[in-house]
Chains A and B, each alone.
Chain A
């Protein structure tokens, strides 16, 4: 602020509104006597191809308007400082620890983040406003015109650079020496591969490589082609349906028109390690179960147990769980892309982008009366069974 006044008094005449004729376009002798600082500024601009056309004070120096503006800028700075101090105070002393319990009581902590946001936001905004006001109200108004130098370089330069480049190529003789060309290619190519190899090679992983558990069971089965329900993961025995907490499920556990998310009862079966395994076990009403039984796909024959049916909880579209079970309309809705599956028709998609029915998990009961994934064969034996088709989204080699 005072710097401006000093500019006025100490360093020659302050630039007026209208500049000298041709000033700023003609070179001036910077060593000539009587050259002001602003003359130097303009000469510098001129050397950069810039003409300062207008340079006028916003306010009359020393005027009442100037003092008023000065005060308001100063006030803005001061308020910014105040808000900043408030931020620091709030940051340190405002109670911030989440209460955890007794939430319906009034807690100052609830306002910790808002208080931080408001104080910091105000501090920054007021600081910005102070600068903007300063620039717009106190700094001299100016219009400068800079010439562009578009287009290509001078033809001379183009030629010289081209010559330099072609000279390099010619001197190296690559064009004339096909042997070298070949040799360079031969020598450099492996180097390029070396650069790429650890990145690509290290990352590549065969999608068909079996899980360690499968390998231990002696089966060479790609992870896409089985889930945690595969009996091989349970020493060849049918895998039990369990709750998320690992407890097995009896038919009586699911009320009519009820549903429960089931996981394979194997080690890590309820974790994301077997992310394709979760299924939705539904207890249908009698008449609905009859309807479904009447139109089961051949593939799904024998997969229901009584009025119970279990569908894969992994959408055939993008892999979200289509688990919005509507027990009256008998729909399964996927919340990610709104595919709708008809429960009473083999979970066939009837709306939305999904193209395939949800896989049905074959249901049976084991000796203890718990649900397992399996079917009873003609001989009356319980045989463990996975989903009969790959679950989840489509892929190329499916």
Chain B
């Protein structure tokens, strides 16, 4: 299970509208960045930021500051402090479009990110650098293939004891309390899975490197990749891999319905 191809899948929903929004944002960012650069007293860091982080701060002050507050200190009732969440959290939350959130609710759903393509990567990296330099926290390994050397057998066991209770055996995700849910993993990339494990986004618990070593994380990711690719040897239709509930619907919608028509045909006089 060591495919060397990059596992990131392009997200292409509403591309055009987004790119327009992106251009607008870029313009805003430029203005904001210029303002930040020239406005005195705003840069309150003790240590100077690296250029990437400075770029990230500019983005932050435009897109994130409303909820997470100045210098990522958090705003009571709106958004938590980002001190110590690390670059992994930024990569996950911004990269999957969960942040910025549309509104406060039980779940931060993934949606098309603010930017796309290289712009997304660059801006996410900038924001990540800013948050990382601001308060430290879990870091991300380089590269897109993080399952290299992972054993899906071991990963499966770790997955079932740690992950399946929320994300389901088949990686389909599931409902949590009061409207929250664990998302499906069918589209998740290696980096997203890794980032989620180390940062514990939303209600997901944190799986630090002491608990799941980097090797074990690779195992888990190898297993999830296996789940995504196992090819469903049992048929063309997987019924969402949801198990007995959709199977029960299918037996009535397909099986019983087909046989009702057959009965009508057989017993029909003509």
Contact = CB atoms under 8 A, between A and B. Distances in A.
Q: Does a CB–CB distance below 8 Å link A and B in the complex?
A: yes
**Interface SS of chain B:** loop
B232 to A, nearest CB: 8
A256 B270 CA distance: 73
B3 A258 contact: no
A132 interface: yes
Interface stretch (A289-297, A327-335, A357-365): A327-335
B1 interface: yes
B231 interface: yes
Contacts of B174: 324, 335
Interface string B256-270: 000000000110101
Interface residues on A, range: 35 or more
Given A132-B266, A324-B165, A103 B230 contact: yes
Nearest to B232: A110
Interface in B174-217: 174, 176-178, 180, 182, 200, 202-208, 210-211
Contacts of A255: 200, 206-208, 210-211
Contacts of B270: 136
B203 A104 contact: no
B269 to A, nearest CB: 8
B216 to A, nearest CB: 10
B46 to A, nearest CB: 24
A110 B231 contact: yes
A161 interface: no
A104 B3 contact: yes
A109 B233 contact: yes
Contact of A329 (B3, B161, B203, B230): B203
A13 interface: no
A203 interface: no
A184 to B, nearest CB: 52
A323 interface: yes
A74 interface: no
Given A254-B208, A255-B206, A261-B161, A324 B166 contact: yes
A351 interface: yes
B12 to A, nearest CB: 20
A98 B226 CA distance: 13
A113 B231 CA distance: 12
A329 B180 contact: yes
B50 interface: no
A111 B233 CA distance: 7
B157 interface: yes
Contact of A101 (B1, B162, B165, B200): B1
B253 interface: no
A333 B177 contact: yes
Interface string A343-354: 000000001000
A225 to B, nearest CB: 26
A291 B68 CA distance: 24
Contacts of A102: 3
A369 interface: no
Nearest to B236: A114
Nearest to B207: A258
A244 B180 CA distance: 28
Given A255-B207, A261-B161, A328 B202 contact: yes
Interface of A: 98-99, 101-104, 107, 109-114, 117, 132, 136, 244, 250, 252-261, 282, 321, 323-329, 331, 333, 335, 340, 351
Given A258-B206, A324-B166, 7 more contacts: A99-B231, A110-B232, A244-B161, A253-B210, A260-B162, A331-B177, A335-B174
- What are the nearest 10 A-B pairs in CB distance? A255-B208, A326-B203, A103-B229, A255-B206, A258-B206, A323-B165, A253-B210, A259-B205, A327-B205, A104-B229
